[in-house]
Structure 1
Amino acid sequence: MTLLCEHTVAIVAYNNISLFHLSIPCSIFGEDLDRVDARPYKVTVCTETVGLVPTLSGFPIEIKQDLSILETADTVIVPAWCDPDIPASTALLNALRRAHARGARMVGLCLGAFVLAEAGILDGKTASTHWVWANDFAQKYPKVNFDNDVLYIDEGNVFTSAGAAAAIDCCLHLLRRDHGADIANSVARRMVVAPHRSGGQVQYIEKPIPRHIDSNRLEPAITWALKNLTKPLTIDELASKANMSRRNFSRLFKKAMGTTFTQWLLSQRLTIAQQLLETSNHNIDRIANQSGFSSSVSFRQQFLAAFSISPSAYRKQFKSSEPQ
């Protein structure tokens, strides 16, 4: 989709908001970056009671627009909510419901998903939020199909994301939907973040290795594997690099990474393939080889199973035409 007229983005601020989380949609949709003529967004930050709004940084910010902007905004964004145990006001929930009912695009970034869920906007839909509050969300909103294994979710006109970095991914995805890969990739480079990954499809979360489970024993093996992803890799090789038995390595790897070695390796190779499809003109056979897949047939099967889209269709949808 390409927006041909000014598109209003309303971002909701509230007491004790995180300035970092507020800045994510403001930066992606509001700053005058390259080719601004192709990004006609009018960004407005609003709040329930105009005036000085306290922030988590210890100083207030002045917000001059009230929630009435939600009556006409094209996109409504709720950044990470301050605390899932603190309910949103009736006024805010009703304003969000009205915006959704008239067809506005609704976005809940990180804990902002709790607010959309409380408003009933996520009922019957699939949604995600920060993994720390995954159990709380799933228990509190049983009508929502909760998925904690994704970076963000595209439900057509309703979007939710995991934590801070995923909020950036989600906003870049919206920018890509509106104006294509060239603009989104340009903004990502300006922000010095990774190129946007597609949403509305299965995403893999690269979990950091927790230090409290002696994960330093895994690091040499994982570092080596990341440098050799295009080669045939076996769990026995990594266990050897870690000076562990296959059984102990498998157990510790799953505990540390939250997934099996086989699934982790597949996700790394699919990420490489995504990047090549977006940024290169290589044919599918070459991309399969450079991503570490044994054949183009296996690559196509795994890619389709993971993202519900073929590599060729993915490239057509998300390919950047800018020189790399």
Structure 2
Amino acid sequence: MSQESSQAAAARAPHRVVVIVDANSNPFELGCATEVFGLRRPELGRDLYEFGLCSPEPHTLMRDGFFTLTGVAGIDAADSADTLIVPNRPDIEVPRRPAVLDAVRRAHARGARLVGFCSGAFTLAEAGVLEGRRATAHWQWADDFRTRFPGVRLEPDVLFVDDGDILTAAGSAAALDLGLYLVRRDHGAEVANAVSRRLVFAAHRDGGQRQFVERPVPDVPDESLAPVLAWARERLDSPLTVPGLAAHAALSPATLHRRFQAQLGTTPLAWLTAERLALACRLIERGVAPFETVARRSGLGSTANLRALMRRDTGLTPSAYRRRFGPAPV
């Protein structure tokens, strides 16, 4: 084969995703990775990824002894990964195997993308690749993580964190959020939406798919705010005000403010702005144009305001966001 043919073949080679499975790993996250990256996609006319599993042992006992995994490649298969998903497991106090940590370090050194689901952040931190970096982990382990790895900038209030070549998901189900986000980043919004439909899983979970949102909107424990939130979400393009929200909720502005702080951890104005920005992002992802229309329909008013808020909260301009997450050009 000529050099040109070899280069063309390499260019067509699918992105290789490898999952390391270690003793007591969680089957759920393994299943999420398999569903997102490992299944064939005949409806798309092509396979998105080349997928494989590897383990430091020929027989790997999964979490709580549910079953034993056999027949997967050895740990050296991690050295061929373009994206390496590291093992996660509930026994966070038990150190990871040196062979696993060495594989993670080698992958990081050669520029592979690293992904940690749930407690996988502990694996990445033990390998030393998260020092000075942003990451997330399951909320119940946040204090343990901060104590053990003070050099990592933990963000416990998000579904996942994208720190460039290292990405982490907060909990088990957030593995699907992060997986779909990676598909969208690699192949565009249209392909990611097709994968999410096959999974029967929302491509964007409200309040959390803003991996760009540092504090997703939590469930409302007190139903007293739920009606006014639903009412406001249906009128984001209207000139809503905090006194207007308070009047609709039959509360004083001061009482509304206290309830927002107590139940949502934010102010009414900040919540309203975040909802409008989330709507603007969804409109851009759907291909709505021009940006003046996006700003008007989301209630942000002007393209200047849209641009300022998107740069502040996502780090991207509207044009850059559309290039990354908008529909594929026809």
Distance 1:228 1:204, change over 3 A: farther
> How far does residue 57 in structure 1 lie from its aligned partner after superposition?
8.6
Partner of 2:186: 178
Partner of 1:193: 201
If the length of structure 2 is used for normalisation, what is the TM-score?
Answer: 0.85
1: CA distance, partners of 2:89 / 2:172:
12
- Select which of 216, 221, 239 maps to 1:206: 216
Residue 53 of structure 1 contacts residue 62 of structure 1 at CA under 8 Å; is this kept in 2?
A: no
1: CA distance, partners of 2:37 / 2:82:
13
Aligned residues: 318
Kindly indicate whether residue 46 of structure 2 is the aligned counterpart of residue 37 of structure 1. yes
2: CA distance, partners of 1:321 / 1:77:
27
Kindly indicate whether residue 247 of structure 2 is the aligned counterpart of residue 240 of structure 1. yes
Partner of 1:317: 324
Deviations 1:208-265 (A, max 9, x none): 3353xxx122222222222222222223333334443322321221222122222222
2: CA distance, partners of 1:265 / 1:80:
36
Residue 48 of structure 1 contacts residue 92 of structure 1 at CA under 8 Å; is this kept in 2?
A: yes
Distance 1:115 1:320, change over 3 A: same
- Select which of 113, 131, 135 maps to 2:139: 131
- Give the letter aligned to residue 97 of structure 2: S
Residue 131 of structure 1 contacts residue 148 of structure 1 at CA under 8 Å; is this kept in 2?
A: yes
Give 1:144-155 correspondences, 5 Å limit: 144-155=152-163
> How far does residue 205 in structure 1 lie from its aligned partner after superposition?
4.2
Q: What percent of counterpart residues are identical?
A: 37
> How far does residue 288 in structure 1 lie from its aligned partner after superposition?
0.8
- Select which of 273, 278, 291 maps to 1:271: 278
Partner of 1:12: 20
2: CA distance, partners of 1:277 / 1:295:
15
Deviations 1:132-191 (A, max 9, x none): 322322222122122334433333322122223432232223223332333222212222
Partner of 1:230: 237
Residue 96 of structure 2 contacts residue 123 of structure 2 at CA under 8 Å; is this kept in 1?
A: yes
Kindly indicate whether residue 264 of structure 2 is the aligned counterpart of residue 257 of structure 1. yes
1: CA distance, partners of 2:93 / 2:262:
29
Residue 132 of structure 2 contacts residue 151 of structure 2 at CA under 8 Å; is this kept in 1?
A: yes
Kindly indicate whether residue 164 of structure 2 is the aligned counterpart of residue 156 of structure 1. yes
2: CA distance, partners of 1:131 / 1:169:
16
- Select which of 95, 106, 117 maps to 1:98: 106
CA RMSD of superposed structures (Å): 2.8
If the length of structure 1 is used for normalisation, what is the TM-score?
Answer: 0.86
1: CA distance, partners of 2:210 / 2:151:
19
1: CA distance, partners of 2:238 / 2:91:
45
Kindly indicate whether residue 76 of structure 2 is the aligned counterpart of residue 51 of structure 1. no
1: CA distance, partners of 2:71 / 2:223:
46
2: CA distance, partners of 1:58 / 1:201:
32
Kindly indicate whether residue 178 of structure 2 is the aligned counterpart of residue 166 of structure 1. no
2: CA distance, partners of 1:195 / 1:64:
30
Residue 21 of structure 2 contacts residue 60 of structure 2 at CA under 8 Å; is this kept in 1?
A: no
Residue 46 of structure 1 contacts residue 63 of structure 1 at CA under 8 Å; is this kept in 2?
A: no
> How far does residue 29 in structure 1 lie from its aligned partner after superposition?
0.7
Structure 2 gaps, min length 5? 1-9
Distance 1:305 1:131, change over 3 A: same
2: CA distance, partners of 1:321 / 1:91:
41
- Give the letter aligned to residue 142 of structure 2: A
Structure 1 gaps, min length 5? none
2: CA distance, partners of 1:306 / 1:235:
21
> How far does residue 291 in structure 1 lie from its aligned partner after superposition?
0.7
- Give the letter aligned to residue 184 of structure 1: A
Residue 153 of structure 1 contacts residue 200 of structure 1 at CA under 8 Å; is this kept in 2?
A: no
2: CA distance, partners of 1:77 / 1:286:
40
> How far does residue 3 in structure 1 lie from its aligned partner after superposition?
6.4
Residue 184 of structure 1 contacts residue 196 of structure 1 at CA under 8 Å; is this kept in 2?
A: no
- Give the letter aligned to residue 213 of structure 2: Q
Residue 37 of structure 2 contacts residue 51 of structure 2 at CA under 8 Å; is this kept in 1?
A: yes
1: CA distance, partners of 2:328 / 2:62:
43
> How far does residue 204 in structure 1 lie from its aligned partner after superposition?
4.4
Kindly indicate whether residue 123 of structure 2 is the aligned counterpart of residue 115 of structure 1. yes
Deviations 1:82-139 (A, max 9, x none): 2333322222212222222222221112221111011101112222222332232222
Distance 1:3 1:192, change over 3 A: farther
Partner of 1:66: 74
